[in-house]
Amino acid sequence: MADEVRGEGTAAGGAVRVTVGAGGRIDELHLEPRLLGSGVAAIADAIREAVNAAHDDAARKPDGAMQAFETELDRLSDGFERAIEKVTKNLAEAQKRLEQ
């Protein structure tokens, strides 16, 4: 989906890179070979750190549906303001005619 929010995270100096997509699922996981000599615990910690960073990154981004909603709301608000200005102007003109 084009509007899907994605998050990216890295750890271990960029040796671990993670991309998460819909529902927090891991879309991509990249481990550089230099990390493999670090031991299982260090690799696990780096993966956990990168996944958490990717989730945090995704959480900071507004999703496409919300952006579309905000755009439409702005458009409607602008139209409403113009309509109110026109009604106010027409009422003022009508009041002037009645006072004459």
Contacts of 2 (CB under 8 A, 6+ apart): 64
Q: Rounded to the nearest 5 degrees, what angle is found at the Cα of 22, between the Cα atoms of 68 and 14? A: 110
Average pLDDT, the chain: 86
pLDDT band of residue 1 (cuts 50, 70, 90) is very low
The per-residue pLDDT for 3 is: 58
Side-chain half-sphere of 41: how many Cα atoms within 13 Å? 0
Per-residue pLDDT, 16: 96
User: Which range (17-26, 53-62, 67-76, 87-96) has the least confidence?
Assistant: 67-76
12 torsion bin: left (phi>0), alpha (psi -120 to 50), beta (else): left
Locate all alpha helices (DSSP H) within 14-63, ordered by sequence: 40-59
